[in-house]
């Protein structure tokens, strides 16, 4: 087990290059199972969730070659597996995309129930509703989900909740279905559009991704060769934006799409920070203590839940009292206990946290409860006076490529050591 030891008090300055989006990558990789050919996927984030996804694809019979740190060639011509091992799928959430992809490819799949960050209840009823509407029979038992379909037929599916995972999963399953599938009340996150773009590049006919109605006209087959570059990670960019503001720093964030960051930019400007749009990069800087602000997390284009903990750290040192309302996940305030151990004054109950800004945080041993909590505590360690020891960093490695190297290049004092 490793931990990060952070000596705080640095104003972050310099440039950082954003990696490909985790939540697009973990969907695009399983979606390659629909294809029968050889594909190159680039701008792939080199993170542990991607490595486990590749591992499972290999268990199914895919052949994967790493061309470089961020590019793979995947050969899906000899897929023969129908089962994904429970110990692997239970390690991460996005294993549920194997279901949509394998239903589309061969009408049969069994996977362990998906795991992932502990953010409270994480039902998958909308995924199942979608698969069943397309004609699949889905069973859950003994920690596994199995799905079977003789044939998938396009239909209209209304999502009862706006769900990133269910939207993508049903979209993937519908690509090779007969006829047209309509997803109403679809999620609109940038990674939904990226997965649709990937599938369309491969010959699918998907329209409307990025709006709340997506139409998928089923096609008979997909191309046998192609390449695709994954969109930059909106949340990684947002994490460095929060770090710039929290540390009164000045960071040039390269390889990002500024429009995807509008909801974060608006909040940063509201608390007194500065954001300059430079096309495919942004400069974010701040000279003074941030102002208080209220945040309510919402599906895109609202403020992303995956940025709530990082902005929670910024608000913990703001001038005044802020209120955060978390409307997506029921347990996404676990990081506030750790922040309070560093001197923050946050009262979290249910879906609301009241954050009374303090002048400074003090270094302490803290534990990451999940991926974004880990990123938030890392930022907290960088602004705190003294030394912070950050444990459970395997959560951070799931979703951030070379996180301490990137922060170190900006001036942070971080060491990765064995516990």
- Known catalytic residues are 117
Least CB distance to ligand EPU at residue 254 (A): 21
The least CB distance from residue 225 to ligand EPU, in Å, is 27
Query: What's the CA gap between 210 and 134, in Å, rounded?
Result: 22
Q: 202 vs 368, which CB is nearer to ligand EPU? A: 368
Contacts with ligand EPU in 187-226 (CB under 6 A)? 187
Q: How far apart are CA 309 and CA 239, in angstroms?
A: 10
- Which of the ranges 3-11, 35-43, 57-65, 119-127 carries the binding residues for ligand EPU, by CB under 6 A? 119-127
C-beta closer to ligand EPU: residue 249 or 399:
399
Q: Which of 372, 391, 407, 414 binds ligand EPU (CB under 6 A)?
A: 372
Count of chain residues binding ligand EPU (CB under 6 A) = 24
By C-beta, is 113 or 219 nearer to ligand EPU?
113
Torsion-angle region of 38 (φ positive above 0: left; ψ -120 to 50: alpha; else: beta): beta
| Torsion sign, CA atoms 341, 343, 351, 123 | negative
Q: Which single residue brings its beta carbon nearest to ligand EPU?
A: 165
**Dihedral sign of CA atoms 401, 402, 408, 410 in order:** negative
Site track for ligand EPU across 73-102, x = CB under 6 A: --------------------xx--------
Binding to ligand EPU, residues 132-191 (CB under 6 A): 161, 163-166, 187
Min. distance of Cβ 204 from ligand EPU in angstroms?
20
Smallest distance, ligand EPU to C-beta of residue 94, A: 4
CA–CA separation, 233 and 20 (whole Å): 5
Tokens of 268: 């940063």
Q: Considering only residues 13, 82, 88, 122, which one is a binding residue for ligand EPU as defined by CB under 6 A? A: 122
Is residue 306 near ligand EPU by the rule CB under 6 A? yes
Q: How far is CA 112 from the centre of its chain?
A: 21
Angle between helical axes of 308-316 and 334-341 (0-180°, round to 10): 30
* Minimum distance from residue 394 beta carbon to ligand EPU (Å): 14
Residue 283, preceding peptide bond in cis (omega within 30° of 0): no
Query: N- to C-terminal Cα distance for the chain?
Result: 6
14, 123, 143, 179: which one contacts ligand EPU (CB under 6 A)?
A: 123
**371 is an interface residue for ligand EPU by CB under 6 A:** yes
Nearest distance in Å: CB 122, ligand EPU: 5
CB atoms within 10 A of CB 180: 16
Judged by CB under 6 A, does residue 395 bind ligand EPU?
A: no
- Which residue from 280, 286, 229 is spatially nearest to 257, judged by alpha carbons? 280
- CA torsion, points 154, 82, 209, 28, in degrees to nearest 10? -160
Out of 54, 124, 171, 390, the residue judged to bind ligand EPU by CB under 6 A: 124
| Binding of ligand EPU by 376 (CB under 6 A) | no
Q: How far is the CB of 407 from ligand EPU (least distance, A)?
A: 18
**26 near ligand EPU, judged by CB under 6 A:** yes
Q: Give the separation between CA 165 and CA 172, rounded to whole angstroms.
A: 11
Are residues 293 and 267 in contact, defined by beta-carbon separation less than 8 angstroms?
A: yes
Name which of 30 and 357 has its Cβ closer to ligand EPU: 30
Query: CB 83 → ligand EPU: shortest distance, Å?
Result: 21
Instruction: Measure Cα distances from 194 to 181, 183, 220 in Å.
Output: 19, 17, 22
Applying CB under 6 A, among 44, 173, 399, 414 the residue interacting with ligand EPU is: 399
Nearer to ligand EPU, 237 or 364 (CB): 237
Q: 78-82: which pairs have CB atoms within 8 A and are 24 or more residues apart?
A: 79/33, 79/105, 79/106, 82/106, 82/108, 82/109, 82/110
Among 126, 265, 286, 316, binds ligand EPU (CB under 6 A): 126
Name the 3-class secondary structure at 310.
helix
Render the burial of 201-212: b for 16+ CB within 10 Å, e for the rest: ebbbebebbbee
Beta-carbon contacts of residue 67 (< 8 Å; ≥ 6 apart): 40, 73
Q: Which is nearer to ligand EPU, 187 or 403 (CB)?
A: 187
* Cβ nearer to ligand EPU, comparing 167 with 286: 167
- Residue placing its CB nearer to ligand EPU in the complex, 7 or 392: 392
Name the site residues for ligand EPU (rule: CB under 6 A).
23, 26, 93-94, 117, 121-127, 161, 163-166, 187, 305-306, 328, 371-372, 399
């Amino acid at each position: 087990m490793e931990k990060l030891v952070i000596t705080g008090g640095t104003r972050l300055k310099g440039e950082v290059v954003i990696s490909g989006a985790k939540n697009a990558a973990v969907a695009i990789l399983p979606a390659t199972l629909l294809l029968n050919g050889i594909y190159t996927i680039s701008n792939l984030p080199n993170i542990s969730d991607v490595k486990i996804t590749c591992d499972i694809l290999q268990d199914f019979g895919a052949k994967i070659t790493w061309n470089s740190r961020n590019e793979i060639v995947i050969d899906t011509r000899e897929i023969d597996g129908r089962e994904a091992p429970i110990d692997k799928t239970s390690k991460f959430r996005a294993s549920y995309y194997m279901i949509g992809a394998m239903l589309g490819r061969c009408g049969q799949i069994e996977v362990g129930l998906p795991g992932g960050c502990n953010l409270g209840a994480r039902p998958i009823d909308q995924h199942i509703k979608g698969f069943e509407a397309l004609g699949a029979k889905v069973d859950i038992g003994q920690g596994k989900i199995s799905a079977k379909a003789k044939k998938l037929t396009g239909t209209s599916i209304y999502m009862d909740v706006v769900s990133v995972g269910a939207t993508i999963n049903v979209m993937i399953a519908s690509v090779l279905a007969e006829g047209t599938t309509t997803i109403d009340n679809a999620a609109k996150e940038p990674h939904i559009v990226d997965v649709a773009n990937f599938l369309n590049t491969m010959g699918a006919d998907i329209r409307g991704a990025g709006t709340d109605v997506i139409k998928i006209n089923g096609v008979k087959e997909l191309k046998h060769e192609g390449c695709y570059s994954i969109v930059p990670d909106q949340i990684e960019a947002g994490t460095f934006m929060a770090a710039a503001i929290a540390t009164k720093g000045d960071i040039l964030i390269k390889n990002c799409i500024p429009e995807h960051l509008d909801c974060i930019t608006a909040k940063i400007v509201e608390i007194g920070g500065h954001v300059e749009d430079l096309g495919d990069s942004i400069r974010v800087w701040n000279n003074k203590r941030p102002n208080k602000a209220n945040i309510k997390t919402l599906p895109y284009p609202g403020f992303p839940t995956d940025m709530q903990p990082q902005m929670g750290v910024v608000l913990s040192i703001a001038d005044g009292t802020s209120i955060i309302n978390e409307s997506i996940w029921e347990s996404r305030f676990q990081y506030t206990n750790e922040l309070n151990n560093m001197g923050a004054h946050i009262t979290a109950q249910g879906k609301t946290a009241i954050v009374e800004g303090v002048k400074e945080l003090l270094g302490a041993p803290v534990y990451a409860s999940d991926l974004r909590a880990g990123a938030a505590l890392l930022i907290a360690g960088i602004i705190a006076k003294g030394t912070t020891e950050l444990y459970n960093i395997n959560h951070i490695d799931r979703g951030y490529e070379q996180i301490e190297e990137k922060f170190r290049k900006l001036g942070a004092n971080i060491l990765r050591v064995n516990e």
